[in-house]
Amino acid sequence: MKGKYFKRAVALITLGVLTLAMVWYSAQVLLIKRTDGITTMQGLYAQPEDSVDVLLIGSSHAGMNVDLSEMWNEYGISAYSPWGSVQPTWNTYYFLKEALAYQTPEVVVMEMYGSTVSGEYSDDARQVTNVLGMRGSLNKVEAIKTSSPPERWRNMFLLFPVIHGRYSSITRDDFMHFPWTDGLENEKGDSKRYGYGYPELKDASGVTDIMQLYPKTEEYIRKIIELLEERGIPLIMLITPTFTSIEEQPCYNAVQVIADEYGVPFYNMNLMREKAGIDSSDFYFDAGYHLNTKGARKTALFLAEVLKEKFELEDHRGDPKYESWEDNCKNQQKSYLRMVTGVEDYFNELKRMDCAMFVIKNSSWEMSDNYRTLLDSFAQISSNSKEIEASGGGDWLLDGVNQGTLINYYFGDLYSEFDYDGHRFTADFKNGTGISVDGKMLVPLGEPGVICVVYDKESRTCIDAVQFLKDNNFQLERFPVQ
């Protein structure tokens, strides 16, 4: 009899454990991913222990207006940003508390756009994105209770009422997103954007009004400052450039008052555009709410110089423990290259990379202004652009974009193949099949123009394929590279 009860207990416990495991797995699959706030927080957990020297907290103005990979590239600063879109200061506080449980940064930089939030709660989606990435903890419980109205707490705590509706949107990636497979250790919270908003920039230096911050917003700014004081971690407050500077300046003036009260350095880049080098509208993305990568690099360098001046931040380049920052930098660079559509911008990015280019000019044509501009761009990365200009059709390999060495593989019978770095490159005009690498078609041959395949030496893969067609005024067009 006792044996029967024991067996039943074991069976029930086993069933319970298996069921809970499947519920956990289902939650992992259904969890909203690749969204600000959620993956930026999950990525923080994936960072090597005590590796983050600079923690950049705040809203999208933190994550999108500061290019952390540029800080690494130039100074070897290991920075991470667990940002969330339209993140109010209370969520920033709980994110900070969470971060400090896993990292001990040398300095915390708080982007203060969140100080403009006025309202007891964010919109429904942001209430989710600014807490769901956190691990289960008392801190998360407090974050949920602070971020959402009481009638929503149950759904947020149970999780499934919020996420289960994703069942019709799940993809292969959702089944790959586990702490041991998602690769988040190589992401640092920043991202790249290519585009130009060209907003009208306004001078906010004459705005002296001081507005009353929303009470809950101010309460949590003070909590953040006091928490860091308690932990002995210095804080810097920052406003990255925004085209809505005049409207928001009264709010930032109020932030200045708080900063002065606590003795916290506060840099309002809207009032320092020239010094930061962001003095024109072509550093802005979309309608101007955020900076593009050109602008984000500028703010990163500005911030890095401020930090280097004030703190002794170690240069971690070459340190194996910080390999993920190097990987992030390279991955970001490659993905950004594939975003760029402007000819001049494209070649500027190539100059920053260590790659080779496989170039084909498939016909000949008369000189034009646009073609001259393209050749001048080639001239920036190669000393042999004149050969490209002169040729009536052939292929060249520009080895080492920054070195400008040219290897000429001219082909007379419209077919050419050669080996480079262990790969077989083929250009087939004869059968019209196009350019292929190791038998895999990259670029079909088409209209008269110049075709370029970019080969990354570090990853030993082709990372981009573009063409500049005569009939399209030699503007950049891109082929998808798998």
Among 163, 184, 207, 465, binds other proteins (CB under 8 A): 163
Among 167, 175, 178, 410, binds other proteins (CB under 8 A): 167
The distance of closest approach from Cβ of residue 35 to other proteins in the complex, given in angstroms and rounded to an integer, is 6
Instruction: Name the phi and psi angles at 77, rounded to 5.
Output: -85, 125
Please enumerate in sequence order all residues whose Cβ is within 8 A of that of 61, keeping only pairs 6 or more positions apart, or say none: 111, 113, 239, 240, 242, 290
129 binds other proteins, rule: CB under 8 A: yes
Short-list 376, 326, 395, CA closest to 354? 326
Q: C-alpha angle with apex 293: 272 to 372, nearest 5 degrees? A: 110
131 binds other proteins, rule: CB under 8 A: no
The distance of closest approach from Cβ of residue 164 to other proteins in the complex, given in angstroms and rounded to an integer, is 5
36 binds other proteins, rule: CB under 8 A: yes
Which CB sits closer to other proteins, 121 or 262?
A: 121
Among 165, 179, 265, 448, binds other proteins (CB under 8 A): 165
Residues 230-259 that bind other proteins (CB under 8 A): none
62 binds other proteins, rule: CB under 8 A: no
Token reading at 415: 């077919």
- How many CB atoms lie under 10 A from the CB of residue 209? 9
Pairing of strands 434-437, 440-443: antiparallel
Among 47, 85, 324, 377, binds other proteins (CB under 8 A): 85
Q: Residue-wise over 365-402: b if at least 16 C-beta within 10 A, else e?
A: eeeeeebeebbebbbebbebbebbbebeebbbbbbbbe
Which helix (H) or strand (E) element contains residue 465?
Answer: strand 461-469
Distances (CA, A) of 90 to 65, 94, 113, 255, 261: 21, 6, 13, 15, 20
Q: Rounded to whole angstroms, how far apart are CA atoms 175 and 148?
A: 29
The number of residues that bind other proteins (CB under 8 A) is 33
Tell me how long the chain is.
482
The distance of closest approach from Cβ of residue 245 to other proteins in the complex, given in angstroms and rounded to an integer, is 17
3-state secondary structure of 5: helix
Which CB sits closer to other proteins, 65 or 382?
A: 65
Binding pattern to other proteins, positions 284-323, x when CB under 8 A?
-----xx---------------------------------
Which CB sits closer to other proteins, 124 or 279?
A: 124
Among 16, 161, 179, 444, binds other proteins (CB under 8 A): 161
Among 23, 257, 407, 441, binds other proteins (CB under 8 A): 23
57: β partners: 110
Q: Rounded to whole angstroms, how far apart are CA atoms 107 and 265?
A: 12
Which CB sits closer to other proteins, 11 or 407?
A: 11
Which CB sits closer to other proteins, 27 or 441?
A: 27
Sole window of 49-57, 122-130, 215-223, 378-386 interacting with other proteins (rule: CB under 8 A): 122-130
Q: Which residues bind other proteins (CB under 8 A)?
A: 8, 11, 15, 19, 22-23, 26, 30, 32, 35-36, 59-60, 85-86, 123-125, 128-129, 155, 160-169, 289-290
